Structure 1
Amino acid sequence: MTTRLTHLAAPAGVAPGTGYSHVVSGSGRLVAVSGQIAVDEHGELVGPGDPAAQARQVFENLRRCLAAAGATFADVVKLTFYVTDTAYLPAVRIARDEVIDTERPPASMAMQVAALIRPELLVEVDALAVVG
């Protein structure tokens, strides 16, 4: 179930971002999805040493979590990316762009972290969605 969201790519006085909206608003039920990592349904690591494979698995896990709450990527208002090396961000953005509407992207934030919960993990992403 998709809600009507308002995306502001560049509010007055704020330079536009690339690949994200500065502000996304809407009304409805809030869905918070915990940080997803690159493990399959059995808890096995997907893509050891491969940020692109890990990012694809992370977004598949996000899709499944959103679906469980009656949401889709069209309902996502904010994504937060955690990477152990900023060199992995292009791979994360490619995986993201395969699932979001790139004309109306969600707000987002990215940060490099010293480590994730398991040393072999390279990427983690959490999401906020609003379902009408």
Structure 2
Amino acid sequence: MADNTFVKNNYSHNKGWAKDIFSDVAVIEGNAKLLFLSGVGAENPDATDPATVEILGGVDFAEQTRIAFAKIKSLLAAHGATMHDIVRMTAYVTEPADIWTYFQIQGEALEGAPRPPHTFLRVAGLAVPEMLVEVEVTAAIPAG
């Protein structure tokens, strides 16, 4: 029978300025299945026409971020994963001043899980003009 176990460890190698914001490295050892989520934002999941998709949360960055993390949690659950299984995140935002709001909401959404390695990027715009934030996630769960 195959060994379907793995271990994920997060490490911070900086002197402390970022320890509560992100890990520098997540190391996965053993037999894991990787999940790669595309950019998740506050798009209405019930929308059927990409040309008229509604962005939930209006122009409220915090609300759009909460919606995105709720969708991430749901997508992970659909594939047997939780927020504790996240090994990498990338956030795309249109306004870098929202960084601390983002990380506060991210911390709440992680529900006590270690902060994964993370990149926070400012972009000129996202797929829909009303979008203020989009988050890509990679997660790892036991294979099999």
Question: Which TM-score bucket, shorter chain as reference?
Answer: 0.7 to 0.9
Aligned-partner Cα distance in 2 for 1:3–1:56? 30
The alignment of Structure 1 onto Structure 2 pairs a total of residues equal to 128
Q: What percentage of residue pairs aligned between the two structures are identical?
A: 30
- Aligned-partner residue type, residue 8 of structure 2: L
Any idea what SS the aligned residue of 2:109 has?
coil
Query: Aligned-pair distance for 1:4?
Result: 3.0
* 2:45 maps to 1:41: yes
Match of 2:139 in 1: 129
* Structure 1 stretches lacking a partner, 5+ long: none
Larger radius of gyration: 2
Match of 2:35 in 1: 31
* Structure 2 stretches lacking a partner, 5+ long: 48-53
Query: Cα RMSD between the aligned structures?
Result: 1.8
Match of 2:12 in 1: 9
- Whether the 8 Å CA contact 1:7–1:23 is kept in 2: the answer is yes
- Which residue, 59, 67, 84 being the options, matches 2:94? 84
Q: TM-score, normalised by structure 1?
A: 0.88
Deviation digits for residues 3-28 of structure 1, max 9, x if unmatched?
63111111xxx444241100011141
